[in-house]
Amino acid sequence: MSVEKSAELYKEALRIIPGGVNSPVRACKSVGIQPLFIERAQGSKLFDVDGNSYIDYVGSWGPMILGHGNPFVNRALSLAIERGTSYGAPTEREIELARMIVEMVPCVDVVRMVNSGTEATMSAIRLARAFTGRDMIIKFDGCYHGHADSFLVEAGSGVATLGIAGSPGVPKDVIRHTLSIPYNDSQKFRRVMSDLGDNVACVIVEPVVGNMGLVLPAPGFLETLREVTQIHGSLLVFDEVMTGFRVAPGGAQERYGIMPDLTTLGKVIGGGLPVGAYGGRKDIMEQIAPQGPVYQAGTLSGNPLAMTAGIETLKQLKIPGFYESLFKKTDTLIKGLGEILNRLGIPARASCVGSMMGLFFTDREVLNFQDAKTCDLKLFSAYYRGMRDKGIYLAPSQFEAGFMSAAHSDEDIAVTLAAAEDVLTKIKD
């Protein structure tokens, strides 16, 4: 398919935007191809500037759980725009969305709206440090919590995709307060906490990792985090920016029955508009200004358009049968892909949880970042390019999860599996 106009736009973008993109993975460098420039989206499809259509499994990196251009969201946004796009003052819609989050997410008694997942996570650790009076935080290798200084230590997602260990510009004095250990290693976590636990403000984790590819928690791992943090008086923070409303209505904490102290949210709660949030126990959240001394603010926090899109999105998630249908579609696609891989004898691991999906080109079980890094990146690149040529839009990185939406049809799934079989057969040959 022709992508001449995308190529022209990328050339112009390179002249005036660093790397030609406003978020690194979009540049498609790790798969050896230039990015597509998208003109519009509808339902399960993206349409590029050259007129090509693609079945989309990126979903704007997770938010589009209803699909693109949902009529209920669009209608509500049209009315909201007529009333003004930003006030810098409280609105009733902030209360409505906050109430819905409190009702759906088990650990959240009180919630504060921000503008991105990065804002949510950096605010949550500041709050944890203030609440405990400690400086150290623990994260896990390959988990990505945004680009705040404290998190760019063994981070996943774009940092892993570009092969960057950390980031220049992050002071060593900041990094020394962050300790990163292997995900799913309960024994090492216990040893580290035995030595340092009384100095640890919080442990932050993606309860299901989506930023080194999809990696599920091993049995007992999340339970260990909860048990040990309570022993040492450290807070447990679930980064559910990606998993929130994706793996269950109440996120991973509902699915696995673990109650963290704080939760960060984003993506789905904005219905496709920029948004983030952090919330949790009331006694902790009461430390946030103006009620408490921990300062955090944002000009566009609680933006009326983002609140409107979030409200309309969460309303539809509550429709009976919504999650059963969405999860069935995800399972059908992943089972079909697994059958193709097995039939062709290609070493790979396809998995899903809720509406999140993952595919690793490795013959070993992937439990952590080290396992993920054993993947055949050349094979993934060939697969990515072949699928894109057939109109299937995947994340251009081995280290990213994929997403199903309610707008995907049985025909979309059948077309995707047919494309995968053709592409993988050619790669195998």
DSSP 4-16: HHHHHHHHHHHHH
Query: Domain boundary at 272, 297, 317, which?
Result: 317
Which whole-number Å values give the CA distances from 150 to 167, 169, 392, in the listed order? Answer: 11, 12, 36
CATH of the domain at 401: 3.90.1150.10
Residues 206 and 80 in one domain: yes
Q: Which domain holds residue 387?
A: 4-69+320-428
Q: In whole numbers, what is the pLDDT of the chain averaged over residues?
A: 94
Supply 298's token pair.
């944002």
Beta carbons within 8 Å of 107's beta carbon, 6+ residues apart? 238, 253, 259, 260, 261, 262, 263, 279, 280, 281
C-alpha span between 34 and 28 (Å, rounded):
6
C-alpha span between 103 and 269 (Å, rounded):
13
Residues 49 and 115 in one domain: no
CATH of the domain at 233: 3.40.640.10
The DSSP 8-state label assigned to residue 297 in this structure reads -
**Each residue's pLDDT tens digit, 347-390:** 999 999 999 999 999 999 999 999 999 999 999 999 999 999 99
Q: What is the pLDDT of residue 429?
A: 79
29 is catalytic: no
Residues 48 and 140 in one domain: no
Q: What is the pLDDT of residue 382?
A: 96
* Catalytic residue, candidates 29, 139, 267, 329: 267
Residues 280 and 180 in one domain: yes
Is residue 137 scored above 70 in pLDDT? Answer: yes
Question: b or e along 26-65 (b: 16 or more beta carbons within 10 Å of the residue's beta carbon)?
Answer: bbbbbbebbbbbeeebebbbbbbbbebbbbbbbbebbbbb
**Each residue's pLDDT tens digit, 114-123:** 999 999 999 9
Residue 146 banded pLDDT, cuts 50, 70, 90: confident
Angle at 261 between CA 259 and CA 262, to 5 degrees: 110
Residues 78 and 50 in one domain: no
Residues 312 and 420 in one domain: no
Give the 3-state secondary structure of residue 200: strand
Residues 343 and 294 in one domain: no
Domain count, the chain: 2
* Catalytic residue, candidates 48, 56, 185, 239: 239
Residues 80 and 18 in one domain: no
Cβ(192)–Cβ(227) below 8 Å:
no
144 is catalytic: yes
Query: Domain boundary at 297, 317, 337, which?
Result: 317
Residues 144 and 215 in one domain: yes
Residues 237 and 368 in one domain: no
Q: Which of 46, 45, 37, 47 is nearest to 5 (CA)?
A: 37
Residues 91 and 50 in one domain: no
Residues 61 and 83 in one domain: no
* Catalytic residue, candidates 10, 57, 144, 383: 144
Query: Domain boundary at 262, 293, 317, which?
Result: 317
Better pLDDT: 93 or 151 = 93
Beta carbons within 8 Å of 248's beta carbon, 6+ residues apart? 254, 255, 323, 354
Q: What is the pTM of this model?
A: 0.93
Residue 171 banded pLDDT, cuts 50, 70, 90: confident
The DSSP 8-state label assigned to residue 36 in this structure reads P
C-alpha span between 48 and 190 (Å, rounded):
49
